[in-house]
A and B are shown apart, each in its own frame.
Chain A
Amino acid sequence: MSENVVLELKNIRKRFGPVQALKGVNFKLCEGEIHALMGENGAGKSTLIKVLTGVYTKDEGSIHMKGYDGDIAIHSPQEAQDAGISTVYQEITLCPNLSVAENMYIGRGKEIIQNWKKMNDNANKILESLDIPTSATTQLANCSIAVQQMVAIARAVDMDCKVLILDEPTSSLDDQEVAKLFKLMRDLKARGVGIIFVTHFLDQVYEVCDKITVLRDGVQEGEYKTEELPRLQLVSKMLGKEIDDLSDIKNDEAIMQDTNEENVIETNQLTSTSGISPLDFYIKKGEVNGFTGLLGSGRSECVRAIFGADKVVGGTIKKNGKLVKINKPIDAMKAGIAYLPEDRKVDGIIGDLSVRENIILALQVLEGFWKPFTRAEADDFAEKYIKLLGIKTASADTPIKSLSGGNQQKCIVARWLLTHPEYLILDEPTRGIDVGTKVDIQKLVLKLASEGMSITFISSETDEMLRTCSRLIVMRDRKVVGELTGSDLTQNKIMSVIAGGDK
């Protein structure tokens, strides 16, 4: 058995500043096996893969490959390739302007002169043997995403890789394309390649994988044979909740909110360019609801469509029963909608600006170009919310980027509260911030709701949502697959809906 092991990681540790992302991960991959690597946000999945592919260098631990003695050092993607570890990423990391064959061979070999004929012949041979529907001389940009993905795999195969890492390769593929990809994966498995498959789609895991390793909080939660781990168990292990000993904390107040209030926001068959299935959604005054589902299930895309952050391509939105047209975020803001985006760094903070400017920004934009707040007004707003939310900052003048994650997030919350929205969307407001702040934000959500604000709360941590939401919309594969209220609001129930009902 042990000579079958092609890759073994022992006690891998990696830290970023104060954050210990990997706390001693062990992992074992055998030849001819498809091994799913599962874990929620912050579990350390992507860090682990980056350590394996040489993007990051590990702090501690060792990596063993079959055929090498002792720990192998991987400091760059190049070295990882040389060791026989190839990676295919979610975003295509090939050059769209080059031909298929070139993409398979560039960056390899040392010959100075390129022999096109030999290269194209070789490429065609491999493409044929893997049954990839394209030819060597086609420009990559003219291929579909799935084929591009396969070309990346073909490159890896031709490099004689022992370990192939597929990092969410299926997220932009349709069903047919996924089927083709799986066929290719099984072919490779038959050739003895060890495949690490990272995905958020549970169905796919159960379709192709032999083993599952679950990571949680930077450690290996366990390694399981796929057939021995029912879906529900898998979900519970990923979320870190035992199914049976869950005491269901509920938001009693919120449950009482089940009144006949009017819908504040109502969408009808809303779709956007992000590719979500048409969304029918409503929220009542003073209600807190949430979108749940695993990462990549389309939670964020739904709320982004409502806010006009992605281009809306179909459907309607009604506000208090009246149709509103939301094409751009400003339209949504004028309609009294506020949106705290998922990615704080990219979409939320404006790093070099001060805390004060970050807080007043949204309201300022609503007020208009010609009505800037005076310094005194701005200071008042900033001070008020710094105090209200307990933002820890040296002063309102400090650039927001020098604050801790939790305090940055509070500033963004303050920014939107300042606009006094009727409907507030919080997309992962608690991600990557300290526990104290998480609790603060949840309390705040309940308080605001009791004052009549409608809130959609999205979090990867289900218990947060159970504590705050009175209605949960469950998503899988960019579709709404269920809605839970009242006594159905339990971890078990959510997990079984996410997992697809079957135990």
Chain B
Amino acid sequence: MHIDKLEKNWAGISLGIAGLFVTVILGSAFFHGIHAPSNVETIDSAKLHLSAEFAEDKLGVERNPNGSVTVRMVAGRYGFYPKDLTLPAETAITFRWVSLDVIHGVHMPMSNMSTMIVPGYVAQVSTVLHHAGDYPLLCNEYCGMGHAHMWSNIKVVSKAQWDALNTQGGANHG
């Protein structure tokens, strides 16, 4: 068997390149807490309206005692409900997503809030939003004829502004 020396060297370099990428990815996954949504939590998508967590009156923003925020959302053809949300910047936010019908995907452009929403499962994403502004939430997985009409709004405001809104009541009552 004949393997040229140059080829052996190149195979070593290739291995090094791939190894470098793997190291960076493992490093970011284990030490920077960067994780894709993977909570493997099942739910009966046909009975969301009866569930303790995702019935209509439970949806939207919840402030947790430790200052973090949990957002519960239902995706269904064709929208993400509740349709309008106001969220604080620079705050730990956990989104919990469920689908009431078919597969959807959702992302918030210019942020790393992105997940698939598979019926039968709860998709959980934790993130921090850094910049105030008006963001759309867009459906990014084909879900039927109205796929391109499936979106809703998120307004990100500074933490101080958000606290003020919430003490007056009204920013997120739905």
Answer yes or no: are A and B bound together in one complex. Answer: no
